[in-house]
Amino acid sequence: MGREVILVTGASSGFGRLSAEALALAGHTVYASMRDTNGRNASQAEAVGHFAKDNGVDLRTVEMDVQSQLSVDAAVEKVFTANGRIDVVVHNAGHMAFGPAEAFTPGQVADLYDINVVSTQRVNRAVLPHLRRQQQGLLVWVSSSSSAGGTPPYLAPYFAAKAAMDALAVAYARELARWGIETSIIVPGAFTNGTNHFARAGSPDDQAVVDEYEAGPYAGFGAWVRAAFDAIVPPDADVSAVADAVVKVVDTPFGERPFRVHIDPAQDGADVGFAVLDRLKVEMLHRVGLQDLLKPARLI
């Protein structure tokens, strides 16, 4: 594959940062997007610059708050103006929250959906007009094994949001195929090291409800769940495997990219669950005569 122009969302840390670096090392022009590059993430933006210089790669930062359409529009326009095209978008931006579902306010749940789901819609509305005019492109969605595998409690709002994002990715895949735009969904399992998911996880605002759970039959349950995660994830699980999977998808020729790629050190069964769910959707498309939507059209 040649050099692609790639926009990665939520690239200040974790999967996004690792993927941006790995894609740049693979020879692509990569924009690591993050919000507040002159404030909270100033040190992260500076680190991206150092990485690019030290490794002689084309890795750049771009200011983008995925919760603001104005910010997303400006970032996408900046990338497109600088390169005359955008080839790949990696939907990675997201945020985890941990605690009893009842203790999260409706506003908190809505905010989690905004970050994990609605943000992808903002980015798509900004970038897809460019991809459709180009008649070729790739959307890479970083999903979660929680959407079809075994899951513990106390992560309900986050898991619900990731399931919604995955469903949106599947629907978009069919609606973009005739435009020549391809879709691949990366499905990471639990990684307790190498990301900031748990360290930066949000917590419920309704402390009174949290206290009731802690004083009742779920006393100490949160700590137990964290310990259980640590126990089932192999100590040598390397989070960079997710970034490697993203690079492999991008570097695979058009029309040959896998629809899903699973990277799950805990083996929670999502590969089995998604195999069934995706097969049912494929069979329905065949039944109604829309099987052409299963592969992107080659228009150029």
CA separation for the pair 232, 238 (Å, rounded): 14
* Whether 158 is catalytic: yes
What tokens were used for 115? Answer: 């970050």
> Checking DSSP bridges between strand 59-63 and strand 5-8, what pairing results, if any?
unpaired
What tokens were used for 159? Answer: 């898991």
| Residue 60 belongs to a domain | yes
- Catalytic member of 31, 154, 158, 213: 158
| Residue 300 belongs to a domain | no
Collapsing DSSP to helix, strand or coil, 61 comes out as: strand
| Residue 63 belongs to a domain | yes
| Residue 184 belongs to a domain | yes
Please report the pLDDT score of residue 26 as a whole number. Answer: 98
CA separation for the pair 162, 97 (Å, rounded): 12
Nearest to 29 by CA among 86, 96, 78, 68: 86
**Would you tell me how many other CB atoms lie within 10 Å of the CB of residue 158?**
25
Residues 6+ apart with CB under 8 A from 265: 189, 190, 191, 233, 234, 237
In the chain, where do the E strands start and end?
A: 5-8, 29-34, 59-63, 88-91, 137-142, 181-188, 260-263
Residue 287 sits in a domain whose CATH number is 3.40.50.720
Q: What is the pLDDT along the chain (300 residues), one digit of tens a residue?
A: 579 999 999 999 999 999 999 999 999 999 999 999 999 999 999 999 999 999 999 999 999 999 999 999 999 999 999 999 999 999 999 999 999 999 999 999 999 999 999 999 999 999 999 999 999 999 999 999 999 999 999 999 999 999 999 999 999 999 999 999 999 999 999 887 656 556 678 999 999 999 999 999 999 999 999 898 888 888 888 899 999 999 999 999 999 999 999 999 989 999 999 999 999 999 999 999 999 999 999 998
| Residue 109 belongs to a domain | yes
| Residue 237 belongs to a domain | yes
Range of the domain at 285: 5-294
| Residue 299 belongs to a domain | no
| Residue 150 belongs to a domain | yes
Q: What total of structural domains would you count in the chain?
A: 1
Segment holding 145, helix H or strand E: none
